[in-house]
Amino acid sequence: MSTVFETELKSKHIVIVGGSSGIGKATAKMAAALGAKVTIASRSVAKMQAAAVEIGNGAQIAPVDTTDEAGVTSWARGLGPVDHLVISASSAAHGAFTELPTDDLRTMFEAKFIGPYMAAREVLPALVKGGSVTFFSGVLSRCPSAGATGLGAVNAAVEALAKGLALELSGRARVNCISPGMVATEAYAVMPDEARDDMYAKVGASLPVGRVGVAEEVAQAVILAMTNGFLTGTVLDIDGGHLVRG
């Protein structure tokens, strides 16, 4: 990363919800290497402690369950001043429209929309003027897939939230959204190795770049969203060309 990012992030306090794994952890490592003071947040203290060692540079941990409103409020009050908030929430419920259990759909909305909504709202009083909030959606918001209409809907809701807040918080904070395509992360670790590799190969072959992404490539976009003062109300598609493949 160039020195402009170092200048913008040095000594800035960045809070990354979901920073103990995947894209969130990759972002934390990149930001810390650029001189930022990083705090990662998630439910698992053990995962955060391990991630903080990997991130290095004095990374701090702050446990939070974003589905617990009172807990989110208490957590936010303990963060101190925050320059940039990144919420890399990840939750997916797949299933046909007529078959997906309502409880699964509700759980996904709680984790990927309601939780980030509350986290941003509660951190806002601590957010330094001119700071930023970065949400995460996903390619299905504008490229629907049969069997994943619920997931596409929640992704679209997150993008609408980011755009609306960019207006509502005008002059107070910038708000953007990252929309990744398929990225090889721990999110797929539960799959058998052969099935996972086959999925990556098939999806990669369908993309203009010829492969799936890696977490660091998306993290670079998050760094851009935090440091570019002219960027707000934008959805950044980091998807290997998924949306244009036809």
In a domain, 202, yes or no: yes
Q: How far apart are CA 91 and CA 202, in angstroms?
A: 22
Say if pTM beats, i.e. exceeds, 0.75.
Answer: yes
Domain of residue 56 covers 3-241
pLDDT tens digit at each of 246 positions of the chain = 456 777 899 999 999 999 999 999 999 999 999 999 999 999 999 999 999 999 999 999 999 999 999 999 999 999 999 999 999 977 788 888 999 999 999 999 999 999 999 999 999 999 999 999 999 999 999 988 888 899 999 999 999 999 999 999 999 999 999 999 999 998 888 889 999 999 999 999 999 999 999 999 999 999 999 999 999 999 999 999 999 986
The CA distances from residue 154 to 32, 35, 139, in Å, are: 30, 34, 11
CB environment 66-81: b (16+ within 10 A), e (fewer): beeeebbeebbeebee
SS3 of the chain: helix, strand, coil, percent, to 5: 50, 20, 35
In a domain, 185, yes or no: yes
The CA distances from residue 174 to 75, 115, 127, 129, 200, in Å, are: 22, 19, 11, 9, 34
In a domain, 127, yes or no: yes
What domain count does the chain have? 1
In degrees, rounded to 5, the angle at the alpha carbon of residue 147 between the alpha carbons of residues 183 and 219 is: 15
In a domain, 246, yes or no: no
191 token code pair: 């799959």
Q: How many helices (H) and strands (E) does the chain have?
A: 9, 9
The CATH number that applies at residue 27 is: 3.40.50.720
In a domain, 160, yes or no: yes
